[in-house]
């Protein structure tokens, strides 16, 4: 399988069979840069109904859209979505958020969406085993870098891919990636290409690496 970061909280996940998932497509006018043109997918997941996460018109074709809690199996890909909060006030300020787990080619991938609630044993137990964690780190609208690290420490994924942070083109009032990276040892950080390939043998459950993907 391979993973491509499309910017903000959007990823393109492709299983070896060709089944393609786009997560949280965004309206470029809100983020400061656009999604690539000509995107297609079999499945689109939406963590919550804000325009920087639910811009469905950016994905061509007729994908199945998952924007609710539940368990799904589509083209052999197992998907579970579970409720969480977009803020640390039980959703009173920004509403709800969906966490998604995907099982693709035997690899467990978790996309935390715009989670804003504090890290807890309870929510991490609900998430369960994770090989690859896609996690927001920019604060303001989501958890900040320190809380993101707490999730990493409790979930213990092999690979962490940060998302939802300020870049040179991003116009949102959120933190830069450095705030998160400085919490880890340099040898844990891998600067990778825009698209990375993984298979089941890449995960030993012993070490956590932070992958910084180019957009």
Q: Using one digit for the tens of pLDDT, what is the confidence trace for 148-183? A: 999 999 999 999 999 989 888 887 788 889 999 999
Per-residue pLDDT at 52: 78
Kindly report the pTM of this predicted structure.
0.93
Per-residue pLDDT at 48: 81
pLDDT higher than 80, residue 88: no
Number of domains in the chain: 1
The CATH number covering residue 193 comes to: 3.60.15.10
Q: Which residue has the higher pLDDT, 195 or 80?
A: 80
Per-residue pLDDT at 207: 86
User: 């069979």: which residue's tokens?
Assistant: 17
pLDDT higher than 80, residue 192: yes
Any alpha helices (H) in the chain, and if so which ranges?
Answer: 28-31, 121-127, 145-155, 178-181
Give CA torsion, residues 80, 36, 20, 103, to 10 deg. -40
Per-residue pLDDT at 10: 95
Q: Tokens at residue 4, please?
A: 């491509």
β-bridge pairing 2-7 and 10-14 = antiparallel
Per-residue pLDDT at 91: 60
- Taking all residues of the chain, what is their mean pLDDT, rounded to a whole number? 90
Of 140, 164, 179, 180, nearest to 215 by C-alpha is: 164
**Which structural domain, as residue segments, surrounds residue 121?**
2-213
Q: Tokens at residue 8, please?
A: 């903000």
Confidence category of residue 89, pLDDT binned at 50, 70, 90: low
């Amino acid at each position: 399988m391979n993973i491509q970061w499309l910017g903000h909280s959007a990823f393109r996940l492709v299983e070896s069979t060709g089944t393609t998932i786009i997560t949280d497509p965004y309206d470029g006018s809100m983020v400061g840069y656009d999604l690539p043109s000509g995107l297609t997918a079999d499945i689109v997941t939406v963590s919550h109904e804000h325009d920087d996460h639910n811009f469905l018109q950016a994905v061509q074709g007729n994908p199945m859209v998952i924007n609710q809690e539940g368990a799904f199996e589509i083209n052999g890909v197992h998907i579970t979505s579970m409720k969480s909060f977009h803020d640390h006030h039980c959703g009173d300020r920004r509403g709800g958020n969906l966490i998604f787990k995907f099982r693709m080619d035997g690899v467990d991938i978790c996309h935390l969406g715009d989670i804003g609630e504090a890290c807890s044993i309870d929510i991490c137990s609900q998430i369960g085993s994770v090989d690859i964690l896609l996690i927001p780190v920019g604060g303001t609208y989501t958890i900040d870098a320190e809380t993101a690290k707490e999730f990493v420490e409790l979930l213990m994924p092999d690979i962490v891919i940060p998302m939802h942070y300020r870049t040179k083109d991003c116009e949102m009032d959120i933190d830069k990636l450095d705030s998160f990276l400085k919490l880890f040892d340099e040898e844990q950080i891998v600067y990778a290409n825009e698209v990375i390939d993984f298979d089941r043998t890449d995960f030993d459950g012993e070490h956590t690496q932070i992958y910084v993907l180019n957009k």
